[in-house]
Amino acid sequence: MVLTIIAVIVLVVLIVAGLSIRVVLQYQRGVVFRLGRVIGVRDPGLNFIVPVIDRMQKVSMRIVTRPIQSQGIITCDNVSVDISAVAYFRVVDARKSVVVIENVLAAIDQIAQTTLRKVVGQHALDQILAETDTINADIRQILDTTTLEWGVEVTLVELKDIQLPAGMQRAMARQAEAEREKRAKIIAAEGESLAAAALGEASDTMMAHPLALQLRNLQTLVELGVDKNTTVVFPAPLMSAISDIGGFFARETAAAAKPGVSQPMPTPNGTLESAS
């Protein structure tokens, strides 16, 4: 009989302990209700509640990732785009997240979709593509204004995917190609301008120093002689020099053929003496 009583007492103690002991994990907070009223928020660790009278609801304080499903949005310049995003939020007030709002995840999902449509609709397509950081910050600011009353803080909002109509994609591709061609032509024109300036400076140098032009001609001949070519090209100044030398020899030959014309003869002292 005594053993039976002891066994019953031990069983009752175990049941009461099981109903009164609560373990709150490190990333959780425990909201304790007593007869339907919130009496406090318990920290992580071992906690005790009054069985039957008290009830503890655990709330996760970790950051939650919530995708915002894709939806069609019309921009301010009347372009229809499909945009999806992702929101990161966490509970900062466990009491409010349990008492003020019934379903935090569903509420965040709905308000994120409406805010995304509102903010994106105020921008043009070029701004949406180029200023995503600004749009993300605007969405987060608007969300925080509402969600902080629920005990929830939105830490980050990012536009994940932007789908454009096929016609708009082709138009943007043509625009990008035209922009690249414009830059290529500008760069080529700048190169021609620099090359012309360099050639002008080189021509001024050769005009001031005629010997430089002759050296350049010799260098050209050396470069032509490297390859086994069957045709040799002589620069124009060299051809004129050869023509002048040929004319000189022709004049000397004609003068020597005339009778009675004295030809200069060299003397022993190196001077020229005319002979009759």
Every domain of the chain and the residues it spans = 15-60, 63-164, 178-209
pLDDT tens-digit series, residues 246-256: 665 677 677 77
Locate tokens 């086994």: which residue? 228
* Cβ within 8 Å of residue 25, ≥6 positions away: 44, 58
Q: What is the pLDDT of residue 126?
A: 82
| Edge-to-edge strand list for the sheet holding 28-34 | 37-42, 28-34, 54-60
CB count within 10 Å of CB 73 equals 19
In this structure, whether the domain defined by 63-164 belongs to CATH 3.40.190.10 is answered with: no
Tokens of 186: 């500008």
Indicate the pLDDT class of residue 222, thresholds 50, 70 and 90: low
The whole-angstrom separation of Cα 164 and Cα 168 is: 6
Three-state helix/strand/coil letters over 138-175: HHHHHHHHHHHHHCEEEEEEEEEEEECCHHHHHHHHHH
Residue 236 has pLDDT above 70, yes or no: no
CA trace torsion 143, 145, 147, 150 (10° rounding): -170
Kind plus residue range of the DSSP H or E element containing 132: helix 132-147
Report whether pLDDT(208) > 50: yes
Q: What pLDDT score was predicted for residue 226?
A: 63
Cβ–Cβ under 8 Å, residues 58 and 39: no
Average pLDDT over residues 39-63: 89
DSSP state, 92? S
| Residues 6+ positions from 127 with CB-CB distance below 8 Å | 134, 135
For 26: left if phi > 0, alpha if psi spans -120 to 50, otherwise beta; the answer is: alpha
Instruction: Report residue 272's pLDDT band, with 50, 70 and 90 as the boundaries.
Output: very low
Percent of the chain scoring above 70 in pLDDT: 77
